[in-house]
Each structure stands twice: as C-alpha cells, then as structure tokens.
A = this chain, B = another copy of it.
Amino acid sequence: MRNRQILLKPDEIPRQWYNILADIKMNPPLGPDGKPISPDQLAPVFPMNLIEQEVSTKRWIDIPEEILDVLSIWHPTPLVRAYNLEKALDTPARIYFKNESVSPPGSHKPNTAVPQAYYNKVFGIKRITTETGAGQWGSALSFACCHYGLECKVFMVRISFDQKPYRKSMMAAWGGNCVPSPSMETKAGRDALELDPDTPGTLGIAISEAIEAAVADESGLTRYSLGSVLNHVMLHQTIIGLEAKRQLEKVNEYPDIVIGCAGGGSNFAGLAFPFAYDKIHGKKIEIYPVEPAGCPTLTKAPFVYDHGDTAKYTPLLPMYSLGHTFVPPPVHSGGLRYHGMAPTVSQLVDEGIFEARSVTQGNTYAAGVLAARTEGIIPAPETCHALALVVEEAKKAKEEGKEKVILFNWSGHGLLDLGAYEAYFAGNIKDIELSEQDLHGSEKVYADYPKPQHLKSRP
C-alpha cells in the first residue's frame, strides 16, 4: 500500500506565520488625500491589533495558543500524493496537493477567519460584519465567530446566494446571519439596487455594505472583516505553505511548480508565499496564480491604484484591477469574481516572481470531474481552476518527458457548489473569455488615481 497521505503530527502544527512583508517592498495604501494612510485611519473598520499585524514587517509572527487550539480541529491538513490523477494523466510528474477541504466549513478560509475572530475578541469587539462571494468566507467567519462568542453578519453576493441556498443554513448552523447583497440595509446596497434592481451583485458592493454596517454601529463594538486581499489575511494563510513544505521535506521533495487559484489571492498566497521566499532568495521555481478567463484580473488588467470596493470606502490599494465598478460575468466560481487582487500577490506578479495564468470554465470542470473520479474529493469550482492548470502542466511534463514535482492547493470541496456541476453535466457551462475590447473603458474609474511604482524585492 502506498502512503498517499503525508501527515504531520498534531504538535507539528506551525507555531508562527510567515510574513512576506519582511522580504518585499510595497507601495503604501493611500487615503482620500492621496497620501499614505496611517493605522489610525483604519481604526473604525478593523481592531488595532489586526491593523498592527497588517503593517508589520516582522518575518515571523507567533500564533497564539488560543488560535492554535481552534485550528487544531482540522490542522495540520494532509498533503496528498495524487497517484490516481498522475496515473489517469499518464504523466511522469509527481503531483501533490495540500488538502484544505478538510476544514469544517470546507475550505482554507477558516485559516484566517479564526485568527481574525480571536483578535477582534481580544480587542473587545462583539460583532463582525463581512461579505462573501461563493459563501466559503461567510461560512468560515460564522464558524470562527461561534468559537469566540461573537455575532457574525454576512452580506452574500446575490447570484451566489441564489445559486447556493444551503450556504445560508450552513452559516446559521454556526450562528451566523446571512443576507443577499445588495440589500436595503445599507446606503451602498440601496444605491446599487437603484442603479440596477436586477444586479447579480458583486464582491465590491458586498464589501461596501459590510464596511458601512460595521462603521455605522455607534456602540463602537462592531468591526469589519475581509476574507482575502489584505496583508494579515495572506499572513494567516501561510500555515498552508509552511505545513506543505515540512510535509514535502518528509518525503524528500521540493516542487518545480506551485499552483493555486486566485480570486482575492488568499489560498494561492497561503501556499505560495513560503516558496516565494525561496524564489526571492534565488531558488528556481515556477509559481502560478490561476484565474478565470471571465474575470482576468492578473492576466488582462494593469497594476494600478484602485479601491477594493465599489462604494470607494476602502483606501486606494496597489493592485491589478479590472476597476472597482467592474461587474464580472456570472461564472460559477464565486470566489474568483473579484475585480482586484491582494497587493502582496500583485506586487510579486508585477516583478515576475509569480506568473499569472487564466483558464476557461469548461476546462476547469473537466479537470474537476477528472480529479473527483481519481482522487475522490469533489473540488470547489475555485479549486477546479488550479486543477485545470495542473492537468495542463502534467501533460506538458509528459510531452517533455520530465519528472517535475507539481504542488497545488486543493482549496476547498464543492459539496455546496454541486449546482455548478449539475450545470456542467447538463452542458450549460459556457467558456466565458473576456477580451481587451470587453474590458475597454473599465480603466476609466482609476484613470485619475496615482500610479504605483514598479519595485523589486530581490535581496
């Protein structure tokens, strides 16, 4: 019997997160006045302990015991050698995946939801608001909040809310309260509905609603939480890559290729940053964020300063952006429909440490079904994007006759996204690919903003 699961012992869980801000140079976030924002300006939105983490440049940050205690419900997660997938592809590549689908909410998202809830609790906060796309993040934050006795309010992008009715019940099971966005509960929501009563919603609008709902609480006991994009989110997710590295060491492997799907960037960054550290320091390794051709932030949009949300409540962030008013087509991978990208991921794409790729929907589900029938787990639609590139690279390795080691992140399972598989089997999944022409004009929304510098991280 082959050992397909490479496990760490419970006490081998990482005790520190890796902070990539120690190793790269970043353009600062800018306030409404065009000047770098100060931590104080973020205080109405986030608790100060998380703001400190957001701006920290310390390379290693300790994980508090109270967080490890909750993470240990599902961590360390397995690293899996995908023998069956390799065999089906008849590839000389050795394929490994980090199985983040084993968390109770079914994805990598609780890796940061738990610390965020904890730090809010420690800061005296009673209630957290957030947005969610596909529902993975809202579920994760509901799960995390119930461990620390916090209330959780989730604004869910309407198209996903309608496609995935079970998500609301899932959040309710953990005590979370989920409403479709745009809602009538906020000005941002009401404005969006006035503009288009039939809008499928966007993450940008939902973020605006959640921020507004947090800041509007005059008791001062509500804060907002974001499931991706921000530095501290990427930081918390590095537990994925840190574990994966140790697990690969146990079988004397190091990846030639690292792959993760990228919407806001967090599951990709979580796996990739510890390897990006190696690449910044001279190691040869290919690292690919993968996005849908229907929302091609990294592959078709420029590196600019733009807002993270539609109502422009957030600071200007240095990132690849399709424009904060961009409404992506209704692709089924709700987690990959964001107009922007984490500034840290954007920075490393801009300087060539990461090479962005895009895939079309049909290919992603074909790869997802192949993965389900070989490795067993039905992948989330988001994960299917990573899988599509894994299949492509494994075939390339076969053509080249090279024994490459491919590592990817199985970011979540698709058990609450089976409607998307139903659409695929029924032939109703279209290959949406946005052209330069489709995107023409979307750059207008940030045309007058400052431009980020092209910085270099190499030491």
Chain A residues in contact with chain B, CB under 8 A? 1-5, 7, 9-11, 13, 65, 68-69, 72-74, 84, 102-104, 106, 143, 146-147, 166, 168-170, 172-175, 369, 372-373, 375-378, 415-416, 418-419, 421-422, 425
Per assembly, the copies of the chain total 2
When distances are taken between beta carbons in the complex, the residues of chain B under 8 Å from A375 are 73
Closest chain B residue to A421 by CB distance? B169
In the complex the two chains form, is B166's CB within 8 Å of A1's CB?
no
When distances are taken between beta carbons in the complex, the residues of chain B under 8 Å from A422 are 166, 168-169, 172
In the complex the two chains form, is A172's CB within 8 Å of B65's CB?
no
Docked pose: A186 CA to B185 CA in angstroms: 53
Docked pose: A73 CA to B166 CA in angstroms: 27
Closest chain B residue to A1 by CB distance? B68
Instruction: Select which of B7, B11, B106, B378 is within 8 A of A10 by beta carbon.
Output: B7
In the complex the two chains form, is B372's CB within 8 Å of A418's CB?
no
Closest chain B residue to A104 by CB distance? B376
A-B CB contact pairs (8 Å), 28 listed:
A1-B10, A1-B11, A1-B13, A1-B65, A2-B72, A3-B11, A3-B72, A5-B10, A5-B72, A84-B147, A104-B372, A106-B415, A143-B376, A146-B373, A166-B415, A166-B416, A169-B418, A169-B421, A170-B421, A172-B421, A172-B425, A173-B373, A173-B418, A174-B378, A175-B373, A415-B415, A415-B416, A416-B418
When distances are taken between beta carbons in the complex, the residues of chain B under 8 Å from A103 are 376
What is the distance, in angstroms, from A373's C-beta to the closest C-beta of chain B? Answer: 5
Instruction: Select which of B1, B74, B174 is within 8 A of A69 by beta carbon.
Output: B1
Docked pose: A143 CA to B369 CA in angstroms: 12
When distances are taken between beta carbons in the complex, the residues of chain B under 8 Å from A415 are 106, 166, 170, 415-416
Closest chain B residue to A80 by CB distance? B73
Docked pose: A172 CA to B373 CA in angstroms: 10
Closest chain B residue to A168 by CB distance? B422
Pairs A-B, 10 closest by C-beta atoms = A104-B376, A166-B418, A169-B418, A169-B422, A3-B10, A1-B68, A73-B376, A415-B415, A146-B373, A173-B372
In the complex the two chains form, is A69's CB within 8 Å of B170's CB?
no
Docked pose: A419 CA to B170 CA in angstroms: 9
In the complex the two chains form, is A104's CB within 8 Å of B173's CB?
no
Docked pose: A172 CA to B72 CA in angstroms: 33
When distances are taken between beta carbons in the complex, the residues of chain B under 8 Å from A419 are 166, 169
When distances are taken between beta carbons in the complex, the residues of chain B under 8 Å from A416 are 166, 415, 418
When distances are taken between beta carbons in the complex, the residues of chain B under 8 Å from A102 are 102
Closest chain B residue to A65 by CB distance? B1
